Chain A
Amino acid sequence: MGKEALPFSQRLFRALVRVLPFDFRTNYEGEMEGVFREQQREVEERGGPLGALKLWKETITGIFTTAPREHWQILTSDCSYAFRMMGKNRGFTAVAILTLALGIGANTAIFSVVHSVLLRPLPYPQGQQLIFIRQQETKLGIPDLSFSVKEIEDYRAQNRTLSGLVEYHAMSFTLFGHGDPERVRTGVVSANYFDLFGIQPLLGRTFLPDDEKLGAPPVLLLSYEYWKDNFGSDPGIVGKTFEMNDKVHTVVGVLPPVPQYPNENDVYMATSACPYRSNKMHLEDRDMRMMEVFGRLKPGVTVSQANADVSTIAAGLKATYPKSYPENVGFTSAVSPLQEELTHGARPTLLLLLGAAAFVLLIACANVANLTLARMARRERELAVRSALGAGRSRILRQLLTESFLLAIVGGILGLMLAYGSLELLTDFVGRLTPRAREIQVDSGVLLFTLAAALGTSIVFGTLSALFSRANLTSSLKEGSSGAGSGYQQGRVRSALIVCQIAFSFMLLIGAGLMMRSLFKMQQVDAGIVPQRVLAMRIAFNWSKYNSADKTRVVIQKLLDRVKSEPGVLSAAISSRYPFEPEMITGGPESVSFSFQIEGQHLEPGQAPPVSTYAAVSPGYFETLGIPLKAGRMLADTDSDDLKAPQVVLMNEEAKRRFWPNDDPLGKRVSGDGGEHWATIVGIVGDVREFGLDHAPSPEFYGPQAQGPQPGNLVVRTAVQPQSMAQALTRAIHEVDSQTAVTHILTLEQARYESMASPRVTASLLGIFAALALVIATAGIGGIMALMVSQRVREIGIRIALGARPSSILQMVLGQGMLLAVVGVGIGIAGAVALTGLVKSLLFEVPPTDVLTFGGVGLTLLAAAALASYLPARRAAAVDPNVALRTD
């Protein structure tokens, strides 16, 4: 018998009624349809289309005003019921909320970092159009060559894809006219630099094209922070004058509080005001490179189009100036989005942490689902009664989901507070990985994420628990049991959830374990120096005062003589850099690499010349740092600028291995300027891990400061605690020249410790996540075993009554707990092996499948599981059969 098709109006009415809550429909839908039919009949009898229209209007309005009221009513009653239930089960509520808070908090914290650093566009108008341009010498392994003035002019004139191209370099200058002479970090930029970024000044103006012309009156822009901290946000600052580099500089504006890339500076000046950038050599010599270059893509232009554009320019330069761009260095240029440029160092670590946090949330979810299931077993009678009283399935599901959602929301709010509290710490950590760290904040995106995490979490564990308790609703009333009928199926689900928790915890623990082993290995590495009791400080002479090599040489010698006379100083040296110097850790060996020529060695056409790093040091450097001499002699005071004194260099053992594997390099000559000057190798010193403990030593040359002054740092070996001498040494330096800035004072041990900050913090965060996971999973095993024991008291009682010994009961319960743990660890091992690719790049001398770590973690988890199962097992063994058999 075929069903008669309903008229369209009835079908439409039914569709409309679906906006009403399910229970309401179950109760009234049939009657409503009846009423509507009657009304329709009446309208038809009266005739006229207006009546029908009026009826529809009233019907639609009626349904749509009733629906929200009905939904709201259910929600409020569910919420108040849920709150009552939460109050009744305080233990469960507290554990569930805390677990969720930890899971959601960990995710919110890491997400706020990922969102601010990786996802959010740069805080400039059309930030996605901003690009970073780099020149490269690929055959020399130099990925980031600076630009010379001539090159910038060429790129600016020849490019067809950029709407603007600006330069940047940072220097330290001394500022007079505001209390004591003060060293200020100065960004030297093109006139249109701020226009390109789209930054409007807070006060005054930014630079104008005229400011950049050679000989233009020097002007300054102050950064917001410098203006606020040093001038108390003086609104009348514009127009004030200061002296820098022997010239009067006028303040023309103040920048708004925007993130400053690539470095934070106190003040900005136009290129013409920088004494270095504007000297003849820099203006005319194509090889004098020290600038970084940014650009903005023309609307509609892609990064790859810009890439093709700049590489064409680079090819043109190569053809026109073969001397500056020899064939064998592999010269080229490329662009990358600025956003990517600023964050690529942070990306792998942040994504790893986000993954780890997601694992913690999954574990928390599984744990709360398990807790809820366990509670369901006790609530089945209550739910069955409600069901018998007429609450539909969906009504009960809705009620359970509301309860889960409330738990998750409260957990989410707590988690948000946790995340907020950890932001400062995280910002500090991420600051080592990317300059965008200061943009980290909890904003609406993060709040949405937290809400979504809470909602998703509650849906996962709420639905799970609701689905698996539904099956038992009707049976439990009939059985009249107190949850013993919760069933085999539910038990299996709970076991599966425990196995998942253990597997995920295992993977997290492996991640943390590998990072810690890696850190430990790093700490064991011999850096090639004796870092104890060495103090390093950055010194910067007043450029305008010491503007020639001769003057610099004299002041260096004076300064060293004075410092060495200080009581407590064992030795001292001036060097262009020192091991673990923070800037070197960031920049890597490429930032101080140079290509050179070995006398008598002929390169095949296209063959890349040898590349090494270079440092200018005064003779006491090796003694001060404890770098041993391996062959030849150390640098001496006789290696001077005297025309009769031959130019000399030392090199490390790695350079010998690399460039003279079979010869004795002593007495050989090398040139770094295409053969104009030659330096003789006079000694070989030990290898030093200059650029971080995880960087194998690279070939290194050391030249005497006297033959090419590059002052930058003072390193001092002291007889006492090095930090205690910082003041005395600063005073001594100022006695020689009061305008010398002394900054970045730290001991070599501090520098060494700081150089490991990034892996250390990554390991710590992963460790915290893993510890959280371990605690949650262990508590989960303990909880489920305890529940199992309490549900099987009767059965255990019978077993004991039939002669089972307490030890065999203990073994049985322990065995069941351990079985779950072993299966979990097994799955965890497979998962961890599959995921090793994620951590591989962050490890140091530890294979991603390190047997020791896997074994240690496995044993730890199994031990924790055994401990967690032991307590319920002991309780089971102590069951009194007389009592047990009498229990219902």
Chain B
Amino acid sequence: MTKKRETESFLPLTPAMFHILLALADGEKHGYAILKEVARRTGDKVRLSAGTLYGNLARLESEGLIAESDHRPEVVLDDERRRYYLLTEFGREVAVAEAERMEEALGQARAKKLFRKPKLA
């Protein structure tokens, strides 16, 4: 109950935060990789700048939604100036809660016929 309330206290997440959590959902990444992943996934609709990215990373890290990873890639691939971030268990819960919140809102929009069916590509 307490945990749920704690999770809910983060909702709704800002789009930038949500996309960062999404980017980390399938594995740890460094800053630039997060930025690239978000741009790729949203077809460049969400573009994070360095300031926005690290402002959000700092927030998410201090709230315990993400953490710095000790795990580093192989030495040949590693750039020691880079830090890698991973999604914490708590971060995952918050991301899930946010996705559920969105889904619920989407459902309501559908019920009110406020939803255009996606065109098939």
Residues of chain A having any CB pair with chain B under 8 Å: 17, 20, 24, 27-28, 30-36, 38-39, 58-59, 61-67, 69-70
Q: Are A66 and B52 in contact (CB under 8 A)?
A: yes
Which stretch of B1-9, B54-62, B106-114 is in the interface?
B54-62
Contact, CB under 8 Å: A35 / B58 = no
Interchain CB contact (< 8 A) of A62 among B51, B79, B82: B51
| B47 within 8 A of partner (CB) | yes
A24 vs B53: C-alpha distance when bound (angstroms): 13
Q: Are B58 and A24 in contact (CB under 8 A)?
A: yes
The answer to whether B35 and A66 have CB atoms under 8 Å apart is no
Cβ-defined contact, A62 with B32, below 8 A: no
Contact residues in B for A66 (Cβ distance below 8 Å): 51-52, 54-55
Complex contact B49–A62 (CB within 8 A):
yes
Binary contact track B20-50/A, C-beta < 8 Å → 1, others 0: 0000000000111001000000000001111
Bound-complex Cα distance A65 to B54 (A) = 12
Q: Would you give the shortest CB distance from A395 to chain B, in whole angstroms?
A: 14
Q: Are A31 and B82 within 8 A (Cβ)?
A: yes
Q: Is B119 an interface position by the 8 A CB rule? A: no
A821 to B82, CA, bound (A): 59
Q: How many A-B residue pairs have CB under 8 A?
A: 66
Residue positions of B touching A, CB distance < 8 A? 30-32, 35, 47-55, 57-58, 79, 81-83
Q: Inside 8 A of B47's CB, which chain A residues have their CB?
A: 58
B81 surroundings in chain A (CB, below 8 A):
30-31, 34
Most chain A CB atoms below 10 A, which of B31, B32, B47, B50: B50
**In the complex, A67→B49 CA distance in Å?**
13
In angstroms, Cα B50 to Cα A17, docked, is: 10
One of B35, B48, B54 near A28 (C-beta < 8 A): B54
Q: Are B49 and A38 in contact (CB under 8 A)?
A: no
B57: which of A28, A38, A59, A69 is its contact (CB, 8 Å)? A28
Whole-angstrom distance between the alpha carbons of A24 and B49 in the complex?
A: 16
Question: Which A residues touch B30, using CB under 8 A?
Answer: 31
Across the interface, which residues of B come within 8 angstroms of A39, CB to CB?
32, 35, 50
A contact residues around B54 at 8 Å (CB)? 24, 28, 31-32, 35, 66
**Which residue of chain B has the shortest Cβ distance to A13 in the bound complex?**
B50
A27: B residues at CB distance < 8 A: 58
**Chain B: CB-nearest residue to A63:** B51
Q: Bound complex: CA of A34 vs CA of B50, how far in Å?
A: 9
- Check B51–A59 contact: CB distance below 8 A: yes
Instruction: State whether A70 touches B31 (Cβ < 8 A).
Output: no
Contact A70 B58 (CB under 8 A): yes
Contacts A/B (CB < 8 Å), 20 sampled: A24-B58, A28-B54, A28-B58, A30-B81, A31-B30, A31-B31, A31-B81, A32-B54, A35-B31, A38-B32, A61-B49, A61-B51, A62-B49, A62-B52, A64-B51, A65-B51, A65-B52, A66-B51, A66-B55, A70-B55
Decide: A62 near B48, CB < 8 A? Known: A31-B83, A35-B31: yes
- Determine which of A33, A35, A61, A70 lies in contact with B53 in the assembled complex, contact meaning CB atoms within 8 Å: A35
Query: What 5 pairs across the A-B complex have the smallest Cβ distances?
Result: A62-B49, A62-B51, A66-B55, A63-B51, A62-B52
List, in ascending order, chain A residues with CB within 8 A of B53's CB: 32, 35, 62
Nearest CB in chain B to that of A59: its residue: B49
Supplied contacts A61-B49, A63-B49, 6 more A-B pairs, CB within 8 Å: A32-B31, A32-B54, A38-B32, A59-B49, A61-B51, A65-B51
A61 to B30, CA, bound (A): 22
Q: Which residues of B contact A58 (CB under 8 A)?
A: 47, 49
Q: How far is the CB of A26 from chain B (nearest CB, A)?
A: 12
C-alpha gap A24/B50 in the complex (Å): 13
C-alpha spacing A69/B82, complex, angstroms = 24
**How many angstroms from the CA of A20 to the CA of B52 in the assembled complex?**
12
Q: Which residues of B contact A64 (CB under 8 A)?
A: 51
Return the chain B residue nearest A70 by Cβ. B55
- State in angstroms the CA–CA spacing of A847 and B13 once bound together: 76
Max chain B C-beta neighbours (<10 A), residue from A33, A64, A70:
A70
Summarize B's interface: helix, strand, loop or mixed.
Answer: helix
Residue from A20, A28, A35, A70 in contact with B32 in the complex, judged by beta carbons closer than 8 Å: A35
**A34:B82 contact, CB within 8 angstroms:** yes
- Give every chain A residue within 8 A of B49 (Cβ-Cβ): 58-59, 61-63
Contacts of A17 in B (CB 8 A): 51
Chain A: which residue is nearest B34 at the CB level? A35
- Residues in chain A near residue B79, CB distance under 8 A: 34
In contact, A34 and B31 (Cβ under 8 angstroms): yes
Q: Which residues of A contact B82 (CB under 8 A)?
A: 31, 34
Within the assembled complex, what's the spacing in Å between the Cα atoms of A32 and B58? 12
CA distance A621 to B47 in the complex (A): 99
- In the complex, A819→B61 CA distance in Å? 55
Contact residues in A for B57 (Cβ distance below 8 Å): 28
Chain B residues, Cβ within 8 Å of A32 = 31, 50-51, 53-54
Name the distance in Å between A380's Cβ and chain B's nearest Cβ. Answer: 26
CB neighbours (8 Å) of B32 from chain A are: 34-35, 38-39
Find the B residue at minimum CB distance from A21: B58
Query: Roughly how many angstroms separate A59 CA and B35 CA in the complex, as a whole number?
Result: 13
A27 to B35, CA, bound (A): 18
Closest A residue to B52 using CB positions: A62
Minimum CB–CB distance for A38 against chain B, Å: 5
| Min C-beta distance of A98 to chain B, whole Å | 37
Given A31-B82, A34-B82, is A62 in contact with B55 using a C-beta cutoff of 8 Å?
Answer: yes
B50/A59 in contact, CB under 8 A: yes
Closest Cβ–Cβ distance, residue B41 to chain A (whole Å): 17
Q: In whole Å, how far is A671's beta carbon from the nearest beta carbon of chain B?
A: 93
Bound complex: CA A70 to CA B55 (Å):
8
Q: Which residue of B lies closest to A64 (CB)?
A: B51
Smallest CB separation, B22 vs chain A (Å): 18
Residue in B31, B53, B54, B79 with the greatest tally of chain A CB atoms within 10 Å: B54
- CB contacts (< 8 Å) of A34 on chain B: these are 31-32, 79, 81-82
A33 to B51, CA, bound (A): 10
Q: How far is the CB of B81 from chain A (nearest CB, A)?
A: 5
Alpha-carbon separation in the docked complex, A35 to B53 (Å) = 10
In the complex, what residues of B have CB within 8 A of residue A59's CB? Answer: 49-51
Nearest-neighbour CB distance to chain B for A28, whole angstroms, equals 4
Min CB distance, A506 to chain B, in Å? Answer: 52
Among A30, A31, A36, A69, point to the contact of B55 (Cβ < 8 A): A69
Q: Which of chain B's residues have a CB closer than 8 A to the CB of A65?
A: 51-52, 55
Q: Kindly list chain A residues whose C-beta atoms are within 8 Å of the C-beta of B50.
A: 32-33, 35-36, 39, 59, 62-63
Question: Most chain-B CB neighbours within 10 Å: which of A20, A32, A64, A67?
Answer: A32
Q: How far is the CB of B11 from chain A (nearest CB, A)?
A: 19
Chain B nearest Cβ from A194, distance in angstroms? 61
Q: Which residue of B lies closest to A20 (CB)?
A: B51
Docked Cα-Cα span, A66 to B31, in Å, equals: 16
A35 to B30, CA, bound (A): 10
Q: How far is the CA of A58 from the CA of B38 in the complex (A)?
A: 15
A66 to B14, CA, bound (A): 14
Query: What B residues does A70 contact at CB under 8 A?
Result: 55, 58
CA distance A66 to B53 in the complex (A): 9
Set of chain B residues within 8 Å of A36, measured between Cβ atoms: 50
* Minimum distance in angstroms from B56 CB to a CB of chain A: 8
* Shortest distance between the CB of A865 and any CB in chain B (Å): 50
Nearest-neighbour CB distance to chain A for B121, whole angstroms, equals 25
- How far in angstroms is the closest Cβ of chain B from A746? 73
Enumerate chain B residues within 8 angstroms of A67, measured Cβ to Cβ: 51
Q: Is the CB of B55 within 8 A of A35?
A: no
Q: How far is the CB of A76 from chain B (nearest CB, A)?
A: 13
Min CB distance A362 to B, Å, is 41
Nearest B residue to A58, CB-CB: B49
Distance in Å: Cβ of B73 to nearest Cβ of chain A: 15
Closest-by-CB residue of A relative to B49 is: A62
Q: Which residues of A sit under 8 angstroms from B35, Cβ to Cβ?
A: 35, 39
Residue of A nearest to B79 (CB): A34
Chain A residues contacting B58 (CB-CB under 8 Å) are 24, 27-28, 70
Q: Which of B35, B48, B49, B55 neighbours the largest number of chain A CB atoms within 10 Å of its CB?
A: B49
- A64 and B52 CA atoms in complex are apart in Å by 9
Q: Would you give the shortest CB distance from B96 to chain A, in whole angstroms? A: 26
Q: Which residue of A lies closest to B48 (CB)?
A: A62
